[in-house]
Amino acid sequence: MKYTLEQKLDIGRQLYHKELTISEAMERFGIARSTVDKCLTDFKRANGIPVRPKPSKISTSVGSSDDIEAYMSMSKEELINELILAKANELRAKKGYEVKGVGANKEFIPLNNKNSK
């Protein structure tokens, strides 16, 4: 079902104010997770609330202006989570593997065939 901009903004408002969870919105309105995320983002933009970029859009190059802007828009908790994730990835690289996916879908990928120890 196609929703008007006003309806999408209302869904975003409910999500932002924690009146509705993501899974409840998906079930109630019959929309995908990406649509739910877009409703929330549209609500934030319409109301002048900072929208943080998705982690995949953050550049890995040191000192780029995109990095600084992305980090400046994050809350303290988000910055701490990014720092923990970066440290975990650094330790995994030292041990010779990386992780793709999340939760039950995690996949451990060796970086080379040799044992790093």
For the stretch 70-112, pLDDT in tens is 777 778 888 898 889 888 888 877 777 777 777 778 787 887 7
**Nearest in space to 29 (alpha carbons), one of 21, 100, 57:** 21
The residues near 44 (Cβ < 8 Å, ≥ 6 apart) are 12, 16, 50, 51
**Nearest in space to 38 (alpha carbons), one of 22, 59, 24, 27:** 22
Q: Is 114 left (phi over 0), alpha (psi -120 to 50) or beta?
A: beta
Assigned token pair, 50: 């900072």
Percent of the chain with pLDDT over 70: 82
CA dist 22 and 16 (Å) reads 10
Exposure string over 80-98, b if 16+ CB within 10 A, otherwise e? eeeeeeeeeeeeeeeeeee
pTM (predicted TM-score): 0.47
Amino acid at 117: K
Q: Answer yes or no: are the C-beta atoms of 26 and 36 closer than 8 Å.
A: yes
What is the chain's mean pLDDT, rounded?
81
| Residue 57 pLDDT level (bands cut at 50, 70, 90) | very low
